[in-house]
Structure 1
Amino acid sequence: MTSPDFPEPTLIAVNGVELEVFEAGRHNAGRPIVLCHGWPELAYSWRHQVPALAAAGYHVIVPNQRGYGSSSRPADVTDYDIEHLSGDLVALLDHFGYDDATFVGHDWGAMVVWGLTLLHPHRVNAVVNLSLPYQERGAKPWIEVMEEVLGGDFYFVHFNRQPGVADAVFDENTVPFLRNLYRKNAPPMSLLDLATAETALGEPVMSDSELAVFAAAFTSTGFTGSINWYRNLDRNWHLLADVDPVIRQPALMIYGDRDLVAKSERLADFVPNVEVVNLDCGHWIQQEKPEETTQAILKWLDQI
């Protein structure tokens, strides 16, 4: 299920899986831009940006990444590590015959774009990331640190230490979970509580018909494939041990001032060619502030 104003998908075989890929602006071949969604999102999360980027002269490529929508959902947890996720994107470029592209990521998609740029720097010519800044690789694996600092109930830790528990709760309450999650100006609440809350707080980020696209997809797939991305965070820490930690490409970082994801105080140490834009919104940046997000991206792309 997609929206009538969103491109029809194609299933493309890459890197041992099939990805459901949405395209616009094919006539702009040679100017690829790849949009990478977060959790629990879909390619459809970029619905506001796709037509504008195509109109601006880009070949817009938007995959449902592995674990999402009609893309493959491998059974092994380790099939969702950063090598596999970035490998899918490299193989997608190969499929279209591109040496490199501009990559745009939101939330977990931003984590993948940062990792892709570290692991395959020659395939990325510019980076635009929303919400999640570059994550410094410290002395201890990320989940270990989160468990020490934030405790076992923090959702990153919970997903890793209690496999299957959250998946089952989200699967049983898919529609209320997504309805309660996709809000703005709502007080913070644990994800498991969000899934079972009877009343949605704050204001909706999207229309009922738009929410129905997400609900239909996750009702069909369940959440395990997408949550497996979280279950590779410490594995990713190990996989990135020997790479140059500095992102040298031009980069745009877009923050939501009301986002619960923390801004980075040391971003420029690891991403020296970064420009930062702050928008007055929460976590769902490109859906809460679609025009402002699109204009920020296009203005920056025109300058580099």
Structure 2
Amino acid sequence: MLTHRTVSVGGLRTHIAEQGAGPLVVLLHGWPETSHSWRHQMGPLADAGYHVVAPDQRGYGRTDCPADAGQYTMLHLVGDVVGLIHELGEQEAIVVGHDWGAPVAWHTALLRPDVVRGVAGLSVPPASRAAEPPLTLLRKRIGDGFYQIYFQRPGVAEAEFGADLRTTFRKLLGGSADAPVVRDGEGFLDRFTEPDPLPAWLTDEDVDVAVESFGRSGFTGGLNWYRNIDRNWELLAPWQDRPITPPAFYLCGDGDITRAFSDSSRIAEIATDLRGAVDVPGAGHWVQMERRNEVNAALLDFFKQL
């Protein structure tokens, strides 16, 4: 049975959803999500014999949201995962992440391979540390309107997304965009359609959960992850060119919008024990919700290899 509780991790009150018993699996959500995004994975993975835990990550949902933007670096986020594993009485876990949760999963495997039994990333592949700060490269490649650059301005995206929470989540989760670029005089949401009706995999109740969660937490915590992108590049310099060594797995919808600005061609070089890379035909960005059965089967196949 799925349960919820609060644990202390690194001084933060951290909300977790939890189900099952057995080897620990930690599921890390992305933006703008919470542990609810793994609702279709919790039961099937638990039924297969795993202790499945999905936290609301730092800055989201019912987990604490530090006020200082500097408290959202990749080192803090990896520390939260390691701390959670130990708080649950384990020495290691399989770590799975989607969207922003994927870089956290990949970096947990990079920085602390001793606690990662296996690592899986959905949507976002592992990436080598670039020669220049990431935002500099994004400006050169895509321009100042790219959404990750738009998110750098404190208060701007918060005001846009918070103006009408229901419209925000209907668009972000259920809508579509031709490109994640903000044009002059517009906001990020202006590039998204508002679906009517919602896609079959997304219910009004799911939107209600997002509205309630972000009505409580606000958007600043999650956006602060973006505001540390260049700082992360600086902090991760000691791991330049170091490979990810735990067993690894990657999965992405072939219609995922992140494919336009990420590179999956070098996964096997970066993650040297790659056990599989799966494209899900016809799936978009929210693949674990859109194609739950295929994702669950692929994850369990990877888990069995461990």
TM-score (norm 1): 0.92
Matches within 5 A, 1:54-65: 54-65=46-57
Q: Which of 197, 205, 212 is residue 209 of structure 1 equivalent to?
A: 205
Q: 2 CA distance for matches of 1:250 and 1:230?
A: 27
How many angstroms does 1:68 deviate by?
0.5
Report whether the alignment pairs 1:126 with 2:113.
no
Q: Summarize the Cα distance change of 1:58–1:195 in structure 2 as closer, same or farther, 3 Å threshold.
A: farther
How many angstroms does 1:303 deviate by?
2.4
Q: Which of 166, 170, 174 is residue 175 of structure 1 equivalent to?
A: 166
How many angstroms does 1:200 deviate by?
3.0
Q: Deviations over 1:86-122 (max 9, x none)?
A: 1111111111121110000000000111111111111
Report whether the alignment pairs 1:24 with 2:26.
no
Answer with 281-290 or 258-267: which moved more.
258-267
Q: Summarize the Cα distance change of 1:250–1:197 in structure 2 as closer, same or farther, 3 Å threshold.
A: closer
Q: 1 CA distance for matches of 2:192 and 2:85?
A: 42
Q: 2 CA distance for matches of 1:208 and 1:190?
A: 27
Q: 2 CA distance for matches of 1:186 and 1:233?
A: 23
Q: Which runs of 5+ in 2 are unaligned?
A: none
CA contact (8 A) 1:183 1:202 kept: no
Aligned to 2:296: 294
CA contact (8 A) 1:184 1:202 kept: no
Identity of aligned residues (%): 39
Q: 1 CA distance for matches of 2:164 and 2:190?
A: 6
Matches within 5 A, 1:25-40: 25=20, 27-28=21-22, 31-40=23-32
How many angstroms does 1:8 deviate by?
3.3
How many angstroms does 1:163 deviate by?
1.9
Q: Summarize the Cα distance change of 1:86–1:197 in structure 2 as closer, same or farther, 3 Å threshold.
A: closer
How many angstroms does 1:264 deviate by?
1.1
Q: 1 CA distance for matches of 2:194 and 2:81?
A: 38
Q: Aligned Cα RMSD in Å?
A: 1.9
Q: Which of 144, 157, 160 is residue 152 of structure 1 equivalent to?
A: 144
How many angstroms does 1:16 deviate by?
1.8
Q: Summarize the Cα distance change of 1:195–1:47 in structure 2 as closer, same or farther, 3 Å threshold.
A: farther
Q: Deviations over 1:138-180 (max 9, x none)?
A: 11011111122111111111112x2211111111122101101
CA contact (8 A) 2:9 2:80 kept: yes
CA contact (8 A) 1:117 1:247 kept: yes
In the alignment of these two chains, the number of paired residues is 295
Aligned to 1:83: 75
One-letter identity of the residue aligned with 2:5: T
Answer with 64-73 or 237-246: which moved more.
237-246
Q: 2 CA distance for matches of 1:165 and 1:134?
A: 29
How many angstroms does 1:76 deviate by?
0.5
One-letter identity of the residue aligned with 1:279: V
Q: Which of 190, 194, 202 is residue 189 of structure 2 equivalent to?
A: 194
Q: Which runs of 5+ in 1 are unaligned?
A: 1-5
Q: 2 CA distance for matches of 1:173 and 1:183?
A: 15
Aligned to 1:232: 228
Aligned to 1:73: 65
CA contact (8 A) 1:173 1:196 kept: no
CA contact (8 A) 1:176 1:197 kept: no
Report whether the alignment pairs 1:166 with 2:157.
yes
Q: Which of 257, 281, 286 is residue 260 of structure 1 equivalent to?
A: 257
Q: Which of 62, 85, 99 is residue 91 of structure 2 equivalent to?
A: 99
